[in-house]
Amino acid sequence: MKATRNTTAKTTILEIIKNSAVALSHTEIQTLSHTICDRVTIYRVLDRLVREDIIHKIVNLDGTIKYASCHHAHNEIKHTHNHIHFSCEKCHLVTCLEHVEPTFDLPPNYQVNEVNFTLSGLCPNCL
């Protein structure tokens, strides 16, 4: 397995995501990084962190892609990001609800590999 380098950009972006209580968009990450690198480098780092299974992507209801830290133990053999995300219609923050598992019934002969479950409404701060 090829070793991966930890660059200043990767370290900075990962810290921004890990320290955020909500999922962040590319633009939000770029603003918080204080121009440590250009927007293309941020996209590359985000793609790398997703491939390395350190963060995961969330497609918001408006199509915006947001990124959040994975909270699994890296010694787990297999895990999924099949938890619910909550998108607040007022403040537009997206939160991972890791301890709420989505349920659904599929017709026979379907196999689910990944779930992107996003609920919308008002978060506790906006009620």
Residue 57 belongs to domain with CATH number: 1.10.10.10
Is 99 part of any domain? yes
| pLDDT, greater one: 112 or 21 | 21
Strands 84-88 and 117-121: parallel
Q: Considering its fold, how many domains does the chain have in total? A: 1
Does residue 1 form part of some domain? no
Q: Does residue 51 fall inside a structural domain? A: yes
38-64 tens-digit pLDDT:
999 999 999 999 999 899 999 888 889
Residue 2 falls inside a structural domain? no
Over residues 103-113, the pLDDT tens digits come to 888 899 998 87
Asked if residue 126 belongs to a domain, the reply is no
Q: What is the pLDDT of residue 3?
A: 44
> Which residue in the block uniquely carries the two structure tokens 């017709």?
107
Domain span at residue 57 reads 8-121
pLDDT at 80: 59
**CB crowding 90-99: b at 16 or more within 10 Å, else e:** eeebbbbeee
